[in-house]
C-alpha cells in the first residue's frame, strides 16, 4: 500500500517537472524523494516518471496514478481539517441521549447556544424514560453522551451537573399546607408511573422507607404527563422539578422529608474533546429550578 508521502512526492515532481524542485518544496533531500518515487514505482510495477535531460514528466501510468493521488491527498487534508475542527469544538457530530424531563430545561438551552456558536457541529437528541435507558444507549454505542439521573451502574465517566428535588403536584381540590409529608400520601390517589419508567420503583422504595404505600389511580410513562393529569384532578403526582412546565400555573408542594437525586452527564469516551466541551457547558448551566417549584 503506497504511503501518502510517496503520493505527495509523485504529485509534486510531476507538477514542478523536477525532482530537485519537488524535494525543495517538500523539505526533503533529492535522494530521499527519489527513494519515495522508486518505492511507489515498485508498488505499481511500472515507471511513473520519465527522466529527461532537464527534469521529469509523467508516463501514462504516472498520469493515472497522479489523478487518483490528488483525490487521496485532498481526502487526507479534509480528514485532518475535520479532526482539528472537532478538537476545537467547531465540527463533527454529537448524539445526546437525555432523560425526557431534562430535554427542555437542561439540554435545550445548551443545544441552542451550540447551534449559534458552532454551526458546523451536528447535534441530535434521543429522549429516554430513565437513567437505565440512557446508559443502555451509550453502552450500545448509539449515543455519544448522556444526560440523566445517576444510574445504578455505568462504565464510563460520570460528571455531576447538579441536584434536583422531587415535588408533589396537587389536584385543584387538595391543599395540605406549605408542604406534603410522606404520611399525608396514605389513602390519597397518586398519579404513578409505568414500571418501565425508573421513577416507579424509586418512588415506591422512598415511600416504603417512610412507612407509606403509594396508591396508583393511574399510571403514565411520562413525568410531564403526570403533571398534567394531577392538575386535571386525577390525583397527586410526585415528579422531579425538571418535569414542571416553566410557565404552568400548577399547585406544587415540597415533600417532607425532601427527596432529591443527582443529575449527571454520562460519557463513555472521556478523551473525546467535543463531548468534554459539551459536558462543561451543561455543568456551567446547572439544574434550574422552575418558578412553580420556587413559589412555596
To the question of pTM greater than 0.85 for the whole model, the response is: no
95, pLDDT greater than 80: yes
- The three cell numbers of residue 192 are 404513578
CA–CA gap between residue 42 and residue 34 (Å, rounded):
12
Strands 260-267 and 121-128: unpaired
The answer to whether residues 141 and 249 touch, using CB atoms and an 8 Å cutoff, is no
Q: Which tens digits make up the pLDDT trace of 219-263?
A: 999 999 999 999 999 999 999 999 988 766 788 999 999 999 999
**For 164-261, CATH number?**
3.40.190.10
For the CA atoms of 258, 200, 217, 225, the dihedral, rounded to the nearest 10 degrees, stands at 90
- pLDDT given for residue 143 in this prediction: 95
Q: Which tens digits make up the pLDDT trace of 13-56?
A: 999 999 999 999 999 999 999 999 999 999 999 999 998 988 89
Question: How is domain 92-162+262-294 classified at the CATH fold level?
Answer: D-Maltodextrin-Binding Protein; domain 2 (3.40.190)
- pLDDT given for residue 89 in this prediction: 59
User: If we measure between CA atoms, which residue out of 259, 265, 260 comes closest to residue 284?
Assistant: 265
Q: Which tens digits make up the pLDDT trace of 151-169?
A: 988 989 999 999 999 999 9
Helix (H) or strand (E) holding 82: helix 60-87
Is there a shared CATH topology between the 4-87 domain and the 164-261 domain? no
Domain boundaries, the chain: 4-87, 92-162+262-294, 164-261
Domain 4-87's class?
Answer: mainly alpha
CA–CA gap between residue 164 and residue 178 (Å, rounded):
19
Amino acid at each position: 500500500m503506497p504511503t501518502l508521502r510517496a503520493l505527495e512526492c509523485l504529485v509534486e515532481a510531476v507538477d514542478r517537472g523536477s525532482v530537485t524542485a519537488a524535494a525543495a518544496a517538500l523539505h526533503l533531500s533529492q535522494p530521499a524523494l527519489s527513494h519515495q518515487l522508486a518505492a511507489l514505482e515498485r508498488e505499481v510495477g511500472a515507471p511513473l516518471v520519465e527522466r529527461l535531460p532537464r527534469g521529469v514528466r509523467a508516463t501514462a501510468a504516472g498520469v493515472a496514478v497522479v489523478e487518483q493521488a490528488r483525490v487521496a491527498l485532498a481526502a487526507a487534508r479534509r480528514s485532518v481539517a475535520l479532526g482539528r475542527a472537532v478538537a476545537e469544538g467547531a465540527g463533527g457530530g454529537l448524539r445526546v441521549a437525555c432523560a425526557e424531563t431534562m430535554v427542555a430545561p437542561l439540554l435545550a438551552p445548551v443545544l441552542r447556544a451550540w447551534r449559534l456558536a458552532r454551526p458546523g457541529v451536528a447535534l441530535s437528541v434521543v429522549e429516554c424514560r430513565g437513567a437505565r435507558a440512557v446508559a443502555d444507549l451509550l453502552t450500545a454505542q448509539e449515543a455519544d453522551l448522556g444526560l440523566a439521573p445517576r444510574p445504578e451502574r455505568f462504565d464510563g465517566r460520570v460528571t455531576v451537573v447538579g441536584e434536583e428535588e422531587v415535588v408533589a403536584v396537587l389536584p385543584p381540590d387538595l391543599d395540605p399546607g406549605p408542604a406534603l409529608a410522606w404520611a399525608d400520601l396514605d389513602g390519597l390517589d397518586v398519579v404513578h408511573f409505568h414500571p418501565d419508567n425508573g421513577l416507579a420503583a424509586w418512588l415506591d422504595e422512598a415511600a416504603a422507607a417512610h412507612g407509606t404505600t403509594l396508591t396508583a389511580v393511574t399510571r403514565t410513562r411520562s413525568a410531564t404527563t403526570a403533571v398534567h393529569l394531577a392538575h386535571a384532578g386525577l390525583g397527586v403526582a410526585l415528579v422531579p422539578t425538571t418535569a414542571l412546565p416553566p410557565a404552568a400555573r400548577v399547585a406544587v408542594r415540597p415533600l417532607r422529608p425532601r427527596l432529591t437525586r443527582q443529575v449527571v452527564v454520562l460519557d463513555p469516551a472521556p478523551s473525546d474533546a467535543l463531548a468534554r466541551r459539551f459536558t462543561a457547558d451543561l455543568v456551567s448551566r446547572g439544574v434550574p429550578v422552575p418558578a412553580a417549584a420556587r413559589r412555596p
